């Protein structure tokens, strides 16, 4: 009403962030977006916490595989976190809050009053963990918020080739979760690469050691007062060691948990018969839907399904032949040998998966840029671009997806056997893994959390040749040992599958010759679409003067 649309847009955006279901405010935002004089950067969150803003940026760059930018923002997030933490803790140092007591009715001697006030201040300071991890519009705070910074950072530093900082961040994370199996494995790997002598002196970050020790001392006092004086305390952290809690209180909590578990078990037993019937019916429907959902048209003439999920002894799996001609396969293989660089995508490591093979790769954008510069045939780079889109459309159609797939990463790669390193070889070309979670084969679980690319939903490999020995693609059970299906590569053959724990897979050793393929990962979430692909789309439009719809027709 005061004709200040930029400020109105910021206020509306701030309200909408905290209340994303508010339809009227959504309409207001759409109105402001259409107004003349309102810019994109006017839609800012006026109540954003600097440490949360930097953390979200860091995580975004991490998921976009930009480790340098992720490190910059995550380190800044930590700085802002401790500024906010200091301020939050200082605000706890106030007068005693009687919490419902009338001042005149509060009856305590000097020692009790001191105890009540001290414990209230400490409990408030511990509550800063929750305060700093809370986001507008979200019911629950981010769990293990501070430790998670170092989980992201250790992997970002590793991806950036800085093993000293990766070790420092891994050791810092282990202050909170010393038995974390994955982090201990990461630390062992970083130590092996850097060398024991250089890795041993590296310590967890000093300010985190101080924070950790102070927090433990506060928790000990609060749990003691809970046990002895009955002053309630709800621990905001999941990492608190059991020994910090007094034995009597631990036993009391154990009894409470056992009682709750027994009640739950009794209710569960009453419902067991009904649930079993429901599960059986649901399983029958699910088994049917897996096959019903698959089997859509392949879109392209000459393409045919060679093996479906049933033939591959799993779900959401398919092998398709006829996606490329022999000449197209040869052209793409020549492109790979001309444009690919050693260890591309693995910080230049020539043999990232096994010392018995070399690994060369090139992305779509890099190939197009080399074509633009005249260093490789532009037609070949354009073929590479079109072929990846062809596979994407085929996957969308065959798996009957209701929303489009977005590229997460595309890589034309060749694995070449090193002749003198084949004798006595027992490893794989690529060990069994899952594309969107961390596989723990011993425990038969797959943990869907970073550093895994949790946003990947579908995967595909398009083979360019079969004139080599070994190199078969294979699916396994979660134990990574029980093989369920094997696919022999050949020109124009693609294997497509969902990226989750239902499809552990690996590549057997290439023992002679060169194995070339285009590896593709897709996401259903447009927020995680590959930035390089957008740049590649723009470059193709510039080079060939086509609009997006025309590009799709070329595939």
- What integer pLDDT is reported at residue 273 of this predicted model? 73
- Residue 438: its H or E element: strand 438-440
Average model confidence (pLDDT) for the chain?
Answer: 87
So what CATH class is 304-544?
A: mainly beta
3-state secondary structure 18-87: HCCCCHHHHHHHHHHHCCCCCCHHHCCCCCCCHHHHHHHHHHHHHHCCCHHHHHHHHHHHHHHHHHHHHH
Tell me the percentage of the chain whose pLDDT exceeds 70: 90
pTM of this prediction? Answer: 0.50
**Is the pLDDT assigned to residue 194 strictly greater than 90?**
yes
Q: Which long-range contacts (C-beta less than 8 Å, at least 24 apart) are formed by 48-51?
A: 48/17, 49/80, 49/84, 49/132, 50/80, 50/83, 50/84, 51/77, 51/78, 51/80, 51/81, 51/83, 51/84, 51/132
Show me where the domains of the chain are located.
5-48, 51-97+108-240, 247-273, 304-544
- What integer pLDDT is reported at residue 281 of this predicted model? 62
Catalytic residue (one of 317, 415, 456, 515): 515
Return the structure tokens found at 470: 């070994």
Tell me the percentage of the chain whose pLDDT exceeds 90: 58
Kindly indicate the confidence band of residue 282, based on its pLDDT and cuts at 50, 70 and 90: low
Mean pLDDT of 483-506: 95
- What integer pLDDT is reported at residue 477 of this predicted model? 94
Kindly indicate the confidence band of residue 288, based on its pLDDT and cuts at 50, 70 and 90: very low
pLDDT in tens, 338-368: 887 765 656 556 777 788 999 888 999 999 9
Dist CA 252 CA 145 (whole Å)? 28
- Which range among 21-30, 314-323, 346-355, 436-445 shows the weakest confidence by mean pLDDT? 346-355
- What integer pLDDT is reported at residue 43 of this predicted model? 74
Is position 515 annotated as part of the catalytic site?
yes
Q: Which residue has the higher pLDDT, 274 or 335?
A: 335
Q: Which residue has the higher pLDDT, 550 or 386?
A: 386
Q: Which residue has the higher pLDDT, 175 or 5?
A: 175
**Is the pLDDT assigned to residue 298 strictly greater than 50?**
yes
pLDDT in tens, 372-381: 999 999 999 9
Q: Where do we find the tokens 């501070």?
A: 146
**Is the pLDDT assigned to residue 127 strictly greater than 90?**
yes
Kindly indicate the confidence band of residue 245, based on its pLDDT and cuts at 50, 70 and 90: confident
């Amino acid at each position: 009403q005061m004709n200040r649309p930029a400020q109105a847009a910021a206020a509306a955006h701030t309200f909408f962030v905290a209340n994303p279901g508010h339809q009227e405010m959504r309409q207001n935002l759409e109105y402001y977006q259409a107004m003349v004089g309102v810019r994109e950067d006017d839609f800012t969150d006026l109540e954003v916490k600097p440490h949360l803003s930097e953390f979200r940026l860091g995580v975004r760059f991490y998921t976009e595989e930009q480790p340098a930018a992720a490190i910059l923002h995550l380190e800044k997030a930590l700085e802002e976190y401790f500024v906010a933490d200091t301020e939050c803790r200082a605000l706890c140092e106030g007068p005693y809050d009687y919490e419902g007591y009338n001042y005149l009715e509060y009856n305590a001697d000097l020692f009790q009053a001191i105890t009540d006030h001290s414990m209230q201040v400490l409990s408030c300071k511990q509550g800063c963990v929750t305060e700093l991890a809370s986001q507008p519009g979200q019911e629950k705070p981010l769990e293990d918020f501070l430790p998670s910074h170092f989980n992201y950072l250790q992997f970002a530093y590793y991806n950036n080739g800085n093993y000293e900082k990766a070790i420092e961040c891994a050791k810092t994370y282990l202050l909170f979760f010393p038995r974390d199996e994955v982090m201990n494995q990461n630390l062992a790997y970083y130590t092996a690469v850097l060398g024991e002598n250089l890795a041993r002196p590296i310590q967890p970050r000093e300010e985190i050691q101080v924070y950790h020790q102070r927090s433990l001392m506060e928790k000990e006092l609060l749990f003691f007062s809970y046990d002895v004086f009955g002053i309630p305390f709800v621990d905001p952290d999941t990492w608190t060691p059991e020994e910090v809690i007094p034995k009597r209180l631990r036993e009391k909590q154990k009894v409470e948990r056992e009682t709750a578990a027994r009640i739950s078990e009794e209710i569960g037993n009453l419902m067991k018969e009904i649930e079993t019937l429901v599960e059986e019916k649901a399983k029958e429907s699910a088994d049917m839907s897996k096959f019903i959902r698959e089997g859509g048209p392949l879109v392209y003439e000459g393409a045919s399904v060679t093996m479906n999920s049933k033939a591959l002894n799993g779900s959401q799996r398919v092998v398709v032949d006829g996606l490329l001609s022999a000449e197209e396969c040869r052209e793409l293989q020549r492109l790979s040998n001309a444009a690919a660089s050693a260890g591309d995508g693995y910080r230049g490591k020539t043999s990232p998966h096994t010392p018995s093979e070399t690994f060369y790769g090139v992305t779509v954008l890099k190939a197009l840029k080399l074509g633009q510069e005249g260093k490789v045939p532009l037609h070949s780079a354009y073929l590479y671009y079109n072929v990846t889109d062809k596979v994407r459309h085929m996957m969308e159609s065959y798996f009957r997806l209701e929303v489009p797939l977005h590229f997460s990463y595309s890589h034309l790669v060749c694995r070449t056997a090193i002749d003198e390193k084949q004798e006595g070889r027992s490893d794989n070309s690529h060990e069994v893994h899952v594309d969107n979670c961390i596989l723990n084969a011993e425990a038969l679980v797959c943990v869907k959390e970073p550093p895994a690319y949790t946003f990947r939903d579908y995967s595909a490999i398009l083979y360019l040749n079969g004139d080599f020995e070994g190199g078969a693609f294979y699916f396994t059970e979660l134990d990574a040992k029980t093989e369920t299906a094997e696919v022999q590569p050949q020109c124009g053959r693609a294997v497509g599958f969902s990226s989750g724990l239902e499809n552990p897979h690996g590549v057997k050793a290439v023992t002679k010759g060169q194995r070339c393929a285009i590896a593709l990962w897709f996401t259903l979430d447009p927020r995680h679409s590959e930035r390089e692909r957008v740049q590649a789309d723009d470059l193709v439009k510039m080079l060939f003067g086509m609009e997006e719809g025309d590009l799709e027709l070329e595939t």
